[in-house]
Amino acid sequence: GDGGWARLARPAIGLPLAAACALAAVALLGPLLAPHDPLFPAGDPFLPPSAAHPLGTDSVGRDLLSRVLAGTQSTLLAAFVVIASGIAVGAAIGLLAGMAGGIVDHLLMRATDAFLAMPAPILAIAVVGALGPSLENTVIAMVVVWWPLYARIVRGDARAFLARPAAAAARLNRIGALRLGLRHLLPGMAPPVVIAATFDVGLLVLMLAGLSFLGLGSPSPSPELGAMSARGLAYLLQYWWVPVMPGLAVFLLSYVANFAGDALRDLMEDR
């Protein structure tokens, strides 16, 4: 195929990845870019979008742009924490199952299947219900739901690797199972895990917003995109921007993450 830079220069690959990087930068710099404090009124209630307030103000006069930026940051950070934790737990279980085989593999995969069989939103709602509503507890609930996906990917790759001649050669050289896994297996698993993680950002943004919309996130006035849309629905007909702007942010985050996932898959499959 082409060189790496030539592939990145293709619009179908370069544009989504650039958009994802731009959103990540906005999330990191959110509080610095926000023109007002997201927790306190910055003008009259229900001001329409204008030069002073590009996304308008909400029911108590807080600047919606500042709140959407803060909400975007907390949503993306929560998604990254869930994915990093899910990969760590899932990779450890998947690697152990794949390398050990036999009864260990069987038991760990049955446990993984049991988690996968449960509808993720319902399991997450049950966990948050037990722990109490907050963003931290929503993140814990999502990790409980998310690790089995990565365990499956890593376990499948481990079994496939062990069937290859390279694994047999490594065993002949008396390379230990842990060293074999860390040195030879994990680098080869990075591409499918990274692609899955990129798509998962989009899914997690929707699920975090959904749980927040149902009132399972942090209580008001903390700026969570789902809760902002839910509270703004009462004003939809008169002051449409109050629920629509946070909802648009959720759509944009999810769309760009899926777009970037497609581009990453194309980039890695071309190699």
Q: What is the pLDDT of residues 203-239, one digit of tens each?
A: 999 999 999 999 888 887 889 999 999 999 999 999 9
Of the two residues 241 and 124, the one the predictor is more confident about is 241
Mind listing the domains of the chain with CATH numbers? Answer: 4-29+74-269 (1.10.3720.10)
Query: How much is the average pLDDT of 63-83?
Result: 94
Task: pLDDT band for 29, please (50, 70, 90 cuts).
Answer: confident
Contact 245, 233 (CB under 8 A): no
Where do we find the tokens 């507890």?
Answer: 137
Q: Which of 41, 31, 130, 123 is nearest to 77 (CA)?
A: 31
Task: pLDDT band for 268, please (50, 70, 90 cuts).
Answer: confident
Query: How much is the average pLDDT of 152-177?
Result: 77
CA separation for the pair 208, 139 (Å, rounded):
8
CA separation for the pair 217, 246 (Å, rounded):
15
Of the two residues 195 and 221, the one the predictor is more confident about is 195
Q: Which of 203, 201, 250, 259 is nearest to 228 (CA)?
A: 250
Query: How much is the average pLDDT of 126-145?
Result: 90
Of the two residues 184 and 100, the one the predictor is more confident about is 100
